Homo-oligomer: A and B are copies of this chain.
C-alpha cells in the first residue's frame, strides 16, 4: 500500500472536481453541478483562492476511502467529498479572520482576508458553506445514490459542522484562549472543532455505500482516534514543523497562548500519545479485514506527515 501515491491520485481528483464545480458560467460535464452564471467575479475569485490554494484534501479522501470499503467508486461520491472540503475551507477562512485567530498565513499563502478584505472573506466563507449543501443536493441525483441516503448525509454534515460540532468547538477554543484548559477540556474542544468533521467524512462515505450501524460504529471509533492523533500531531508540528511544509506560521499556538498537547505532555509525551491513537485507530478497523488497508495507512500517515 503506497499511501502517498493514493493520496496524490485522489487529492488531484478532488482538486479537479473543486475547480470544475466553481468554474464560472460553464455547463458541467456531469450535468449535476451548479452552473454559476450570477456570481460576482470578486466573490468567485476569493472563494476559489482559498478553495484551490493547496491543502491535503484529507477529508474528501476519507469520504472516498470510506465509500471504497463498500466498493463504491470514488467518482460516485465526489460531490460529497468536495462538499467536505468546502466546509473545511470555509472554516479556515472564518477562523483566520481578525476577530477570530487573526492569522496571516494559510496553506503557505496570505489568508483570504489579507488579500480580499474582511467583508469578502466573511462572505466567501458563507458562500462555500452554502455551496457544500448545494453539492450534497446534487449527490442525490447521482446514479446509484438514493435521495434518502443523500439527505441523511445532509443531516450528518450539518450536525458535524454546526453548533454541536465544528462551530461549537471554535467558540470554546476562543473562550479558552489565554487560560489554561485541562487535558480533558482540550480534548473536548478538538473533538468538536476537528474531530466532528473527520467523523462526518467517514460516515458520509460509508452511508452512501449502504453501511450498516455496526459498520458506522467501527468508523466512529476509528474517527475518534484518527482525529485525536491528527490534533496532537498538529500541536507537535506547530513546534518542530517546517513552515514551508505546514503552510502555516510556526509557533502560532504559543502566540495565541493556546493550550496544546505539547504543553500538557511535552514533545516526547505528545508524540507517544499520537502513536498510541494511531494504533487504536488501526485496531478499530479489524472487522473490515483487508478492506481496511487504505484507512489503516491513512491513520499512519497522520503522524508520518510533515505538514
**B-side contacts of A146, CB under 8 Å:** 147
Cβ-closest chain B residue relative to A154: B137
Also in contact, A152 and B126, with CB within 8 A (given A37-B164, A192-B38): no
**Interface pair B148/A130, CB less than 8 Å apart:** no
Q: Kindly state whether residue A47 has any CB partner on chain B within 8 Å.
A: yes
Looking at A114-122, A217-225, A267-275, the stretch in contact with chain B turns out to be: A114-122
Residues of chain B lying within 8 A (CB to CB) of residue A171: 40, 42-43, 119-120, 123
Contact with B along A163-198 (1 / 0, CB 8 A): 111011011101100000000000000001000000
A294 within 8 Å of B (CB atoms): no
A72 on the interface (CB 8 Å rule)?
A: no
Which one, B37, B123, B136, B174, contacts A119 given CB within 8 A? B174
Q: Is A127 an interface residue (CB 8 A)?
A: yes
Report chain B residues within 8 Å CB of A100.
119, 122
Minimum distance in angstroms from A148 CB to a CB of chain B:
4
Q: Which residues of B contact A150 (CB under 8 A)?
A: 147, 151
Could you tell me the distance between the alpha carbons of A175 and B46 in the complex, rounded to whole angstroms? 14
B34–A159 CB distance below 8 A: yes
A159 to B130, CA, bound (A): 8
In chain A, residues 123-155, which have Cβ atoms closer than 8 Å to a Cβ of chain B?
123, 125-127, 129-131, 133-134, 136-138, 140, 146-148, 150-152, 154-155
Q: Which residues of B contact A108 (CB under 8 A)?
A: none
Q: Is the CB of A164 within 8 A of B129?
A: no
CB of B126 within 8 A of CB of A155, answer no
Query: Quick check: A133 and B151 within 8 Å, CB to CB?
Result: no
Q: Quick check: is A44 within 8 A (CB to CB) of the other chain?
A: yes
Q: Which residues of B contact A7 (CB under 8 A)?
A: none
- Residues of B close to A172: CB separation below 8 A: 40
Asked whether any CB of chain B lies closer than 8 Å to the CB of A162, the reply is yes
Q: Which residues of B contact A126 (CB under 8 A)?
A: 90, 94, 125-126, 129, 162, 167
Interface residues of A (CB under 8 A from B): 34, 36-40, 42-44, 47, 90, 94, 97, 99-100, 117-120, 122-123, 125-127, 129-131, 133-134, 136-138, 140, 146-148, 150-152, 154-155, 157-159, 161-165, 167-168, 170-172, 174-175, 192
Supply 15 A–B pairs (Cβ within 8 Å), ascending by A. A37-B164, A39-B163, A44-B163, A94-B122, A99-B118, A122-B122, A123-B170, A123-B171, A127-B168, A130-B167, A137-B152, A147-B147, A151-B151, A151-B154, A154-B154
